[in-house]
Structure 1
Amino acid sequence: MKHYIIRRLLQIIPTLIGISILIFAISALVPGDYITAQNNPNMTAEKAAQLRAIYGLDKPPIERYFTWVGNMIQGNMGESLQHKQPVTTVIGNYVGNSFIIAFFSLMFSWIIAVFAGVFSAKFQYSFFDKAVTLIVFLCMSLPSFFIGLLLIKIFALDLGWLPVGGMKTAGLNATGWEYIFDVAKHSLMPITVLTMLSTGSLTRYFRTSMLEVIRQDYIRTARAKGLKERKVIFKHALRNALLPAITLMGFELPALFGGAIILEKIFIWPGVGQVYLESITMRDYPFMLGFTVFLATLTLIGNLISDVLYGLADPRIRLK
């Protein structure tokens, strides 16, 4: 196991090098830069040239790439052109806000998907199964902006139960439990939308996996031995049905920190996803490149963790 983890960690290095070359090349091919993105009518050619020299945008792409990579190796992701702060500081300021809604939506979606998928497979072709299937396809087919705007219309504008957007009430200097309650009230609608979007595909996944498992011979043997149906389903069948889901958990790690760009824009949630979108619009390449590498690293680490957990959970698999 130790040698496998070390080998996988070493394989991450050339993968990250390839990713860095790819994303830097794409950013270099895009026309325009941070100076032209300002759309300042008073910007003269001489002033633009001076600013490009200050930001290092006048250098050849290859030289800029090696300078950027050299700084990344030293832990320096550069300075955000838009925020005038180090990229690591900007990520630290906003990634926690995105983590809040991503973590709770992930937790709720997995809990709902597991139970809905298990009972839907257990009572296949029943009214419950058909109802779950209808709700699942409804959640999967509706776009996030439509669900978000619909919730705002009903619960914020019509009923007035929840705030329209933001992370906390403006002018409220709350602390302790009052602050937590205020943030929870603002995050309820974004968490609900993310949970609805994630639960649909997960429920179908768990239902299909459970249908395959409960037809295995060892499940029929367990029932023939007189075990209670609850024990057969939740101890024997569910345990093996969850094994393929470990692979999915590896992709959830970058999702926890990547932010939900569309929802953060709709609910005016100060998350890193919205900042990332603005960095693309404003050609803030230091932040865009640094955050993309950050997400790529999380994806590779998540895949490694899922492979290791899969080997630990299933004794039939040996990591060599």
Structure 2
Amino acid sequence: RAELFAGCDWFDEKWLWEPKGRAPVLSDLRLVFRMRACPIDLLVLFPNSLHSALLAFLGGARQRIGYVRDCRGWLLTGKVFPPRKGRKIQPRPMVESYLRLAEAVGCPPESPHLELHCTPEEKRIGEEIFRSVGFSEETPTVGLVYAGAQGPARRPPVEHYIQLAKMVVSQTEWQVLVVAGPDEREIACRICQTVSHSRVKTMVHWPSLGLSVAKACLARCQVVISPDSGPRHIAAALGKPLITLYGPTTPIWGENPTVKSMDLFVDLPCLGCLKPVCPYGHHKCMQELKPERVFEAFCSLIGQGRGVFCDELGVAA
């Protein structure tokens, strides 16, 4: 995922750690040996896992700062306690949690503004993809993200996306770019083939699909519609207006006053279960989030008239 930060100048070095890769133990060992070869004075742990704290300890980091969670407090030299109500940890926006960690090591309070940049090569890839699918530079584009890396419970029904894409192209002048990864390639193609419209295309024909390509495509969209997924947060950091479809997660995790986002969810007793697969088997959190509701939110975001575009979005009025 180091490619995600290409174009950003915040780091002197980037070390890649892949705890969920093909060889996680080997990745752990490489990281530990590398830390020991380059003694670390201070290490801030953004993951809340025992695993990450154990690696920091084994790697010899002298100061290890992180939240006291997952039975790992004994591994931390600088303990930050999450807010609780009784014994239960209270949810709060992730960006706020990360900023509190930065403040714990002496950083001044900062704005929660998110930021990502594209490299010249990524910009070229984005231009080439739009050109290859026949999209006009003069026509605004909505990115329709289909992502399922966190499990099927977060995926909108394919039929809903098909209906939504049809509504957009039949009732507005916008282009629809279906953004997906290699595992969703077939579904992205099915959406486009079923809609069968010159203004509904996908980027999955690009030879190497990764975060860099997704970032390049999202950067060229004026609006992004997405479930609560990695691409959604990439789009937020790129400054894109968002419509976020929440299923087993809740909006509080992604809340950020600097992000223009319309958060849609179904108010169910099981809201916020965080399960990758619906434990009840009905998947109502996504099934009942109808495409008509998403389209109405889209129309509200771009302007009251369907096909009338807000100047704020950087497209034609």
Q: Do the structures match in fold with TM over 0.5?
A: no
Which structure shows the bigger proportion of residues in strand conformation? 2
Q: Which has the higher contact order (CA 8 A, sep 6+)?
A: 1
Structure whose residues are more often helix by fraction: 1
| TM-score, structure 1 normalization | 0.25
Higher gyration radius (CA): 1
